[in-house]
Amino acid sequence: MVRYLCHNCNDLPLKQISSVLDHIWGKHGVEVHKYHDISGFRCADCKLSFKSIILFLDHIDKTHGIHIWYEKGLTRKRVFFDGILKGSSTVKQHQRRRVNKMRLGTQQKKILTILQAYPSLTILEVANKIHGRNVTVGGKEYNSICRSLHILEVGGYVEKQIGQIRWLLKKKSE
C-alpha cells in the first residue's frame, strides 16, 4: 500500500495518483494529465511526457518545487523518489531505536571483563582465557571471539592498538 503526501502543504495525505494529480493542478497551478491508454503522465506546463510515476514526480519535485513523497508498506518510511528524506522524524526515530537496541551478549561481557583485568590482549589470548584451553587460529571459538571484538569495536567499547593486533578498552570521553 502506497500513500502519497504533499510536503509543501504540511504533509497533506493524498491516497491515490488521481488525487495527487488533482492536488498538483488545483492547489499548485501546474497543469498535469494522466494518459490511461499508454499509462503515462504529462506536464502540460513543460510539455513533457513521462512513462512512470517515479519519473513524473521527480520532474515535479525538481522543476516545479512541489515535494510529493510517499509512505510505502507497513514500515511507514517516508521516501523521496531519489532517496530517503533526511528530515523525516520517522527515519530519525528508527535510527535512535537501532542505536539503543545494542545489547551485549554474555561472551561480549566476558571479553570486556577480561580486557579490564588485562589491558592489552590479542584475539588468541582473549580466546584462550575465555575457553580455558589453547584455541586454534581459524577455529570456531577463535572466529566467534573475533566477531565479538569487531562488534564491540563498532559499538565503541574497544579499539585496536595502533600498529599491532592487540585490543584495548576504549577510554570514555567526557
Does residue 79 share a domain with residue 16? yes
Domain region containing 145: 106-169
Whether the predicted model's global pTM rises above the 0.75 cut: no
pLDDT at residue 95 tops 50 = no
Instruction: Give the model's pLDDT for residue 88.
Output: 45
SS3 85: coil
Whether residues 92 and 113 fall in one domain = no
How many independent structural domains does the chain possess? 2
**pLDDT tens across 34-83, in order?**
876 666 888 888 888 888 777 888 888 888 888 887 766 555 555 555 44
